[in-house]
Chains A and B, each alone.
Chain A
Amino acid sequence: MKLNVKINRGEHIDQFEVDYQPDMTVLNVLDEIYQHHDPSIAYRYSCRTGLCTTCMMMINGRPDLSCQKTAEPGEDGYLTLAPLPKGKTIRDLIKEY
């Protein structure tokens, strides 16, 4: 199965077609992109258990934890990711702490 992913990287929006299994989280999808599509993709995470909140990003238009959220396409057929609007974005999906 494939999942279409759009990532808002500031100056441009990149699209990826990613191998996908139904129990994947958004974070699993980002790992897949880093390892097999684009090694320059930047995202932050730590605990993978919904506690540290450092993996928070906009997922299909809503703020959510990427390690907890199941990867699913939005209404337009894409899983759309963007950095949180508040605060400074260092790169791609990474906010400044």
Chain B
Amino acid sequence: MAVEKIQTDVLVIGSGTAGLAAATYAALEDKQVLILDKGALGRSGSSTGAVQIAGLGDWSHEEDDTERYLEDIYTSGRGLSNPNLAKTLVHDIDQRIQDLIDWGLKLDREGDQVSVSHTSGHSLPRSVSAKKGKAGLGLLHTLRKKVTKDERITTLSDVMTIKLIKSDERVVGALVLELSTNKFFLIQSKATVLATGGAGQLYPITSNPVQSTGDGFSLGLQAGATLIDMEQVQFYPVSIIEPQSIAGLCISFYHNSKLFNNKGERFMKYYAPDTLEDATRDTLSIAIATEISEGRGPIWLDATDVIDQVKKEFSHEYQLCLDRGVDLANKRAQVGPAAHFMMGGVRIDADAKTDVEGLFAAGETAGGLHGGNRLGNNALSECLVFGARAGMNAAKLVDDVTVSILDANPIRINQYGNHRPFEIKQHIQHSMSSYVEVIRKNEGLREALNQLLNVREQLENVQISNPDVYSREIVDYIEAQHMVNTAEAIVRSALERQESRGSHYNTDYPDLTSTIKHNLVRMKNHQFQVQPEEVESSETKR
């Protein structure tokens, strides 16, 4: 069966904040843009859950400026932040937030002042919000309105990207599956932007939506792009563990609350005596995971002293807990680290270009800005700044491309295979949570690699009993293939880093090495290659 072809100037894959921004700015350059999403457009990524965005504006603290912001990013990045990306972020963010305001975004206010909050790791209050603490929704609504009104932009929900297509070493489009018809399409594009978000679903407990299965890292790898520092997975330190129905829910007010181990000790005094719970996410995650692994878990969050503030500023989180039987006004909640954010990702330059001609990446799919630890609320800023840059630069590619029509059906449907796709996903999650969590060991990482090899064998023998439209089994099958690639990139990067830096904590190498290196992962002839690269710049070293 021949695959139908669609043509566009710019193809944007993923419609979170980064993808919608890319589509918007590419269309402003008068290009035809096609933006697609495997879920409901503009409603299916991590962006939905974001509370605040960090940045600069006329509301900034009087002592704040680009230099100070940059300094905080470098300190937090543990030497791994790419200075070109960090400088771009602090330089552009003011204008990007202003654009959104011009397009209708209303920042939350206290009286006639924009509310600006403190976030752990930022040396000054720098975080703002919209829609009463739902900044992500605010940005998505504003950008979705912009995108759907623009006649140069075509939007497609429920269209899943299976692979990127190359011709002469250049990405020229993508092969996609329309879930509502089960038809494959070949999208031919002069430029392609990967904005598929993160990979939290590699772990059983995550704050991420169900769509965050790491597709973009796998798509990038297969197209020849370089992944950088994939071992740097951020765990949100204080997330609900029980009840199961809200496991992974981030508790945004942890820095004002108290954490106790099962001995009733406020244990952060041993790990961060100056800041206690107001520590950066890597420090806090490692502290909590250490308490649990040494038998002093479970860990409990006590927010009773600040409950009035919680009810006011974080009413959504308070209500969610209450609805599921945890009244934080008089009860402690069981908490722990949950997979939250991928700091590694597809390597880009300040123009959001990857190493492959025709391919751009932005948002959580791109790597290198945050280094070893992302500062809270810098993810949305990254999406706006690099989403915009990806769109603007993608629009500059004007060379026509041609793609030959594919004939083969790219998905093998076997109703009698042995492994259900959702079980394969669970196997990946089990391996990652057993061996590639907050605390890692060489032996465990090697075991994870072995288990992922088994998963690849299982993927050769998958049972798909429902080949009809909107088959969750087909979605799970495609996602499992992306997940195993992304998982392997993380594990191989983790094995390469023989030190503990940022969110990568290996008890076999608990110290920092004197030479700071990035880990670069590539795929050549279906084989993974990991190459360390020394950090040249001395600016970021702390």
Contacts and interface: CB of A to CB of B under 8 A. Distances in A.
Contacts of A85: none
A48 B207 CA distance: 9
B469 interface: yes
Given A46-B209, A50-B320, A91-B469, A34 B422 contact: yes
B471 interface: yes
23 contacts: A28-B245, A34-B422, A39-B420, A40-B465, A40-B471, A42-B470, A42-B471, A46-B39, A46-B44, A46-B48, A47-B48, A48-B246, A49-B320, A51-B316, A52-B43, A52-B44, A52-B48, A53-B43, A70-B323, A90-B158, A94-B470, A96-B157, A97-B158
Nearest to B247: A48
Contacts of B245: 23-25, 28
B466 A40 contact: yes
Contacts of A96: 157, 180
A10 to B, nearest CB: 12
B134 interface: yes
Interface string A30-52: 00001100011110111111111
B515 interface: no
A39 B470 contact: no
B134 A23 contact: no
Interface string B244-257: 11101100000000
Interface in A42-78: 42, 44-54, 68, 70
Given A34-B472, A42-B472, A54-B39, A23 B422 contact: no
Given A34-B422, A47-B49, A90 B43 contact: no
B243 A97 contact: no
Given A48-B209, A51-B49, A68-B323, A39 B473 contact: yes
A55 B96 CA distance: 31
B323 A90 contact: no
Interface residues of A, number: 29
Which of A46, A90, A96 has most B Cβ within 10 Å? Answer: A46
B41 A47 contact: no
A8 to B, nearest CB: 16
A94 to B, nearest CB: 6
A39 B469 contact: no
Interface of A: 23-25, 28, 34-35, 39-42, 44-54, 68, 70, 90-92, 94, 96-97
Contacts of B137: 51
Nearest to B471: A40
A23 B244 contact: yes
Contact of B40 (A35, A42, A44): A44
B43 A35 contact: no
Interface in B150-181: 157-158, 180
B273 interface: no
A41 B475 CA distance: 13
B411 interface: no
A53 B472 CA distance: 19
A89 to B, nearest CB: 10
Contacts of A41: 472
B470 A97 contact: no
B325 interface: yes
Contacts of A91: 180, 468-470
Contacts of A52: 40, 43-44, 48, 209
B468 A51 contact: no
B466 A39 contact: yes
Nearest to A38: B466
Which of B43, B137, B325, B420 gathers most chain A CB within 10 Å? Answer: B43
